[in-house]
Amino acid sequence: MTDTAPPHIPPTQITLPDGRVEIAPGAPRPDGPYANADLLPVPAADRTWTTYDFSALWVGMTHNTASWTLASGLIAVGMDWKQAVLTIGLANLIVLLPMLLTGHAGPKYGIPFPVFARASFGVRGANLPAVVRALVACGWFGIQTWIGGEAIYFLAGKLVGAGWSDASRVGGHAWTMWLSFALFWLLQVAIIHRGMETVRRFENWAAPFVLVGAFVMLGWMSAKAGGVGPLFGQPSRLGWGGDFWKLFWPSLMGMIGFWSTLSLNIPDFTRYGKSQRAQTRGQALGLPTTMTLFAFLSVLVTSGSQAVYGKPVWDPVQLAAKTDNAAGLLYALVTVLVATLSVNIAANLVSPAFDFSNVAPRKVSFRTGALITAVLAVLIRPWRLYADPQGYIFTWLGLVGGLLGTVAGILVADYWLLRRTRLDLADLYRAGGRYWYTGGWNWRAVAAFLAGGVLAVGGAGLEPLADGRPIPALSPLADYGWAVGLGASLALYTALTLLSGREARTA
């Protein structure tokens, strides 16, 4: 027998001059049980988001009521404005790094987060981080929807009269509060039903509108306090000694935890990016700068409320409700609603819509996934999560950040350290390929996720672990959950992959 050259196999993907990758012309598009129209790569011609689009996205997401309460909550637990702004500014610089690293796969391959996670967790195993991320988004969507409903309830009550606020109570809240919650829930579902292009257009005009609203509130509080002096003059109850640093580290991790969700699923947005430069510059300009500015406005207004009312009013809705000016109330209502819509749709409906679609691509579309999210968001009873600023910042955000930090560590290790950013698009959608591992699961990623998760949150106490009691040996790690989770999972996943002889293969 003589050796013959193997037949020529046409490439399934091509790399464009600008570095973006797409399905090769003439090659069959991925099909089968692990693909649907919402999960397939966005064609390069349709990746059109610019630096402004990404910047506007972040302005719209950071300028919202939850971001406001993060900053004002730090004032409520004892920090002064300098300490609060320092904590938030540093947190957003830190979380920007994994945001850019995981976001790189979006414009390069046009794939959403759950498909990106298939490279490390396996085609089926990617459902583990996707569902965890989706359930976190359900919690956030519920909290933000409650905030929006609260805005309608408080401010409409001031406009309509006592009959609205004094309505009969159901489950500890007036029935009109439940009505407000339901109306806001329906409004968001209606917007997301129209698709991602509607989301982009909404974010572009919502961003400047909300920023103007924040400055209006600052001007109003300055007038009430008799100038800007009292806003800067409220002292820290902690000083700069041990009491501050004891609070600083869990606060820093909580602030990081706030955007640790987006550091995972940012490919859901960057997949529409025109180039790597667009997503990198847009995010670098949009996240740390605007989040720090908004935090600065928030802490000044909250400090002013402490000077005016004798105690800090950390909820902007309840603060706005203290004015008797009908026009001011109406403007505040519209601003809070736009701000809450802006972040909730972009941050908390887009991602789980893709994540739930990834679980059953043939049965669950993007729109169906969004509806599942909206329903689950009600079932988690968000009014309980939002009731206390200390629990909101430390318990909820700390646990969320710790768990999601482990996923970020695995994604970064797999994509950057092991694969050097090279993926095979076709294999991400089919059984038996390089990302199938064992039955569709990569046990190394699962082991790193579980180990990193226990290290990150075990010391703080989590209901499934030790009946909700913290693990004493891990208590020293409790205040550093996100960093511990990311570092531990990154190191463990890399070591397991290399030691098992299953180095990540390049496309």
- Per-position DSSP letters for 290-355, written without gaps between them: HHHHHHHHHHHHHHHHHHHHSS----HHHHHTT---HHHHHHHHHHHHHHHHHHHHHHHTHHHHHH
Neighbouring-strand partners of residue 176:
none
CB-based contacts of 452, cutoff 8 Å, min separation 6: 405, 406, 409, 410, 484, 485, 486, 488, 489, 492
HSE toward the beta carbon, residue 399, CA cutoff 13 A? 18
What tokens does 397 get? 């955000």
Q: Which range of residues forms the domain containing residue 110?
A: 13-499
Residue 485 and residue 452 in contact, taking contact as beta carbons nearer than 8 Å: yes
Query: Which sign, positive or negative, has the C-alpha torsion 487, 481, 263, 212?
Result: negative
5 in a structural domain:
no
Q: Which amino acid is at 322?
A: K
What does R_g of the chain's alpha carbons equal in angstroms?
Answer: 23
Give me the residue label for tokens 């996100």: 482
What's the pLDDT score for residue 408?
93
Whole-number pLDDT of residue 482: 82
The Cα–Cα gap between 484 and 409 comes to: 10
Taking only the tens of pLDDT, the chain with its 507 residues reads: 334 434 444 578 999 998 999 998 888 888 889 999 889 999 999 999 999 889 888 877 777 666 777 777 777 778 877 888 888 889 889 989 999 999 999 999 999 999 999 999 999 999 999 988 888 888 878 888 888 888 788 777 777 777 777 778 887 788 898 999 999 898 888 877 765 566 666 666 666 777 777 788 778 878 887 766 666 666 667 778 778 888 888 888 777 877 777 888 899 999 999 999 999 999 999 888 888 887 788 777 877 777 788 777 767 777 777 777 777 777 777 777 777 777 777 778 888 888 998 988 988 888 888 889 989 988 888 877 666 545 544 555 556 767 888 999 999 999 999 999 999 999 999 999 999 999 999 999 999 999 998 888 776 654 443 445 667 777 777 767 788 889 999 999 999 999 987 544 443
Q: Is 7 part of a structural domain of the chain?
A: no
Q: Where do runs of H (alpha helix) occur along 51-126?
A: 51-62, 65-76, 81-103, 105-109, 113-116, 118-121
Q: Is residue 504 part of a domain?
A: no
How is residue 40 annotated by DSSP?
Answer: S
Domain assignment present for residue 417? The answer is: yes
* Predicted TM-score of the model (pTM): 0.81
DSSP tag of 359: H
Cross-strand partners of 174: 169
Concatenating the DSSP letter of every residue in 376-432 gives HHHHT-HHHHTS-HHIIIIIIHHHHHHHHHHHHHHHHIIIIIISTT---TGGGGSTT
CATH code of 460's domain: 1.10.4160.10
- Report yes or no on 313 lying in a domain: yes
For residue 426, tell me if it sits in a domain. yes
Does a structural domain hold residue 195? yes
- The 8-class DSSP code of residue 448 comes to H
Q: How far is the C-alpha of 198 from the C-alpha of 188, rounded, in Å?
A: 12
At 126 the pLDDT is 96
Does residue 8 belong to any structural domain of this protein? no
Q: Tell me the C-alpha distance between 451 and 458, whole Å.
A: 10
- Give the Cα separation of 155 and 153 in Å (integer): 6
Count of domains in the chain? 1
Distance CA 507, CA 501 (A): 18
The DSSP-derived string for 121-162 is H-TTTTHHHHHHHHHHHHHHHHHHHHHHHHHHHHHHHHHH-H
